[in-house]
Amino acid sequence: MSGHERRAHGHAEQGRIDAEGVFIRLGQGAEAFEAVQDVSFTVPAGEFVCVLGPSGCGKSTLLGALAGHIAPAHGALTLDGAAISGPHPDRGIVFQHHTLFPWKNVRDNIAFGPKMRGIPKAERHRQADEILELIGLGGFAGRYPKQLSGGMQQRVEIARVLVNHPRLLLMDEPFGALDALTRMMMQELLLDIWTRLRTTIVFITHDIDEALFLADRVLVMSPRPGRIVEDITVPFERPRRAEIVAEPPFGRLKRHCLDLLRPRPGTDTLPRLSPLGAPPHAR
């Protein structure tokens, strides 16, 4: 057992989320609107939760609030009882498109968090190499992000968050930009990592198959204003094989989700807005 796993097991009781009557407003002045409306839920430590919803339903905004990048207008959002205020390495976030630093090689990208905490070079490189083994990229420490495939870039992105031993792993459609085969491989890899680390995961997706394959629980959100319309417990036992998506119980649950997501007549698709409010560079 590696040092990383030992440490994660020692903290197995950490990572509980409580959301109580959360409202999030985005935009300013006349354009302001409620992106998330009266959302309440609880995630026990170590659970894998998917938030499923159509584009623009506020699911990314909710994730942004959990990360501490935006503050709710009303309501309480806590991790292990402590209010979430501002970003923290305890709550790592992975986006759809990688945010690796092109001027750093893979090892130094992963060692970014430890470096910010002032951990000496030899030690942070050791930690980075340990995580690289965990995600199966042991031989790529010296490569630069542009030399990697999309799937590998997302693996490094995940590793860069895991090196901080987060209590909560937030993922915003992390595999949305990958091709179908790579995505399936990444889903299995993520489940494998999660089985070993047992950190709480909140995973945003609009892909029903992905949500049902990965999650213990699926929170289904309605289009704007975003509310949770159903809290589904996924009954499939673990470890899950990729084949379960073709079996009847999976199909039944999928049809149920489809019904929930299908737009009601008369509700037009709303224009796409930046999930965190202000468009980039407008600050």
Partner 1 sequence: MPSPRSHLALVLASPLMLLLAWDGATRFSLVEQILLPAPATIGAALWDVLTRGYAGVSVFVHIGTSLWRVLTAFLLAAFVGVSLGLLRGLYPRIDAVCLVPFELIRPIPPLAFIPLFILWFGIGEVSKVLIIFYYAMLVVMLNTQAGVASCPEDKIRAARSLGASPWQVFWRVVFPASLPHVVVGLRVALAAALSILVASELLGGDRGLGFVISDASTFFKTADVFVGIVLIGLIGLIADRALTFTARRIVHWEGKT
Our CA angle for 96, 187, 124, nearest 5°, is 70
Distance CA 118, CA 103 (A): 20
Contact call for residues 105 and 159 (beta carbons, < 8 A): no
**CB of residue 238 to partner 1, shortest distance in Å:** 28
Asked if 84 and 22 count as a contact pair (C-beta separation under 8 A), the reply is: no
Residue ranges in contact with partner 1 by CB under 8 A: 64, 67-69, 86-89, 91-93, 95, 97, 99, 101-103, 112-113, 116-117, 144, 146-147, 160-161, 164, 276, 280-281, 283
Pick the closer one to partner 1 by CB: 96 or 182: 96
Q: Which residues contact 181 (CB under 8 A, 6 or more apart)?
A: none
**Residue found by looking up tokens 């084949």 in the block:** 243
Cβ 43 to partner 1 shortest distance, Å: 18
Give whichever of 2 and 99 is closer to partner 1, judged by the CB atom: 99
User: Nearest approach, Cβ of 244 to partner 1 (angstroms)?
Assistant: 32
Contacts (Cβ under 8 Å, ≥6 apart) of 5: 196, 197
- The residue among 213, 211, 205 whose CA lies nearest residue 244 is 213
Name which of 266 and 280 has its Cβ closer to partner 1: 280
Please report how close the Cβ of residue 5 comes to partner 1 at its closest, in angstroms: 21
Of 72 and 113, the one with the shorter C-beta distance to partner 1 is: 113
Residue 228's DSSP bridge partners are: 221
Least distance to partner 1, CB of residue 205, Å: 17
98/227 with CB nearer partner 1: 98
